[in-house]
Amino acid sequence: MITFEIGDILKAFNTRFVYQTILTYKRVCENMIITVIAAEITSLFFIMTLILGTIQSSALHSRTTKLFLWLSLADFFALMADSVGFIGDGNIKSTFLLYTCGLFAYTFADIMMIIFAFYMISLIRDYTDVPHWLVFIPVILSALDIIMVISGIVTGNLFSIKDYTFVYGEWNNNISYLPTLSTIFLIIILMKYRRVLDKRKFIVLTCYLISPVANIVLQMIFRVSYYTYVISSVGIAFVYVEIQSEAIAAFGAREKILMEVSYNDSLTELKNRRAYEEFLSRNIEFHGNVGAVFCDLNSLKYTNDNFGHVAGDRLLKDFAKILTDAFSDGEIFRISGDEFVILLHDITQDGMDLRMQDFISTLYENGRMAACGYSLGKDADPLLLVKEAELKMYEDKSLYYKETGRDRRS
């Protein structure tokens, strides 16, 4: 009798324990799903910020930056599909939408693997040559995994939808083998070329590759079917901070140097004709008073022919210095060998006249170094003002030839 009572008590206790365990596990899973959804939505906004920053950067012309952008976009759409799938599980009355979200949630992992393989190889190629065939192995493995995912969905072995709820099949916990092989292969490549990469890039790329593997191992140990892209998002953010932001800054610095070289005249250090045309194309109409000055250097050919090009270069430099001193607040361009244009903003007629009187006096003090003309207009097209100033310059040039008796060809 006593034995029977104890047995009943143990049985009742065991039943209650199992029941409480099931409830606790269910509650933990529900809380985990909520946590996953919150983390994925947060990651969505974060990845969107990285995407916008990458799109707006001048480094987007770089192949590596383009690949990083595609990697971020793939992660963004994967996060969206995964989070909608979690939210819609049992809540959205659309089997097609649930299947689509499930398909994207699984296949985008392989798509990201393919893009990352190209990204990593592109980074290594900045330092050394890499055989082209290496990148095709992870591509083939990922493509095979996508085929398996589609097959598993069609057959129901991966998951199916019943009563608008995901029901995971027997393949669910074993679908990560091919992506794992791809990851291991990329790690081997990374180890092979570790000496050509700087340590920081090597560590960042290794961490990105190891993090999904760690996530897969945890899933296999705890038998949790939730695959989230939060870890991938953290990896992408790490890559952006440690590698991509530096690449963007370096590209911007190179572009700035090239811009300065292509827009500046190397001899006079003034802006050149290309900068002049670019400036006019971006500023068709100016508001307020705009002043234009057109100058043509006198006797440059005579100086080059009689005293050599070194003397001619010195003459150009001296004139550029005079222009810089006289019109430091304006835009100064050398538009041809001996022609210069100056554009001034927000200047009155009296201010323009006084400025030009001082400038012309300086020219006369330096042997009437150049002929010049100027014009002023309000809310005017600067190109028309430049043409008007050029006509006045020719008048001054004719007066110079008449007064000095020099040959016009000089």
- 343 within 8 A of 387, measured Cβ to Cβ: no
Domain segments of the chain as ranges: 2-261, 273-404
pLDDT at residue 214 in the model? 63
CA 365 to chain centre: 52
Residues lower than pLDDT 70 in the chain: 1-33, 36, 58-60, 212-228, 248-261, 283-287, 406-410
Amino acid 358 reads D
pLDDT at residue 343 in the model? 93
Helical ranges in 194-331 per DSSP H: 199-222, 230-239, 245-263, 273-282, 300-307, 309-326
CA nearest 397: which of 368, 354, 365, 367? 368
Q: CB within 8 A of 188, min separation 6: which ones?
A: none
Domain 2-261 annotated CATH 1.20.1070: yes
- 279 within 8 A of 341, measured Cβ to Cβ: no
CA 294 – CA 317 distance, rounded (Å) = 17
pLDDT at residue 377 in the model? 87
| Cβ neighbours of 154 (radius 10 Å) | 10
For residue 397, what are the CA distances in angstroms to 262, 323, 334, 359, 404? 31, 18, 18, 16, 11
The phi, psi pair for 224, rounded to 5°, reads -100, 130
| pTM of structure | 0.60
CA nearest 190: which of 111, 114, 112, 119? 119
DSSP 8-state code for residue 241 = I
pLDDT at residue 326 in the model? 92
CA 107 – CA 103 distance, rounded (Å) = 6
Q: Do domains 2-261 and 273-404 have the same CATH topology?
A: no
Q: Is residue 343 classed as helix, strand or coil in its secondary structure? A: strand
For residue 324, what are the CA distances in angstroms to 332, 348, 376, 386? 8, 20, 20, 18
> At the topology level of CATH, where does 273-404 sit?
Alpha-Beta Plaits (3.30.70)
**What mean pLDDT value characterizes the chain?**
81
pLDDT at residue 132 in the model? 82
Helical ranges in 270-375 per DSSP H: 273-282, 300-307, 309-326, 349-365
CA 386 – CA 288 distance, rounded (Å) = 16
Q: Angle, nearest 10°, between helix axes 95-125 and 63-88? A: 160
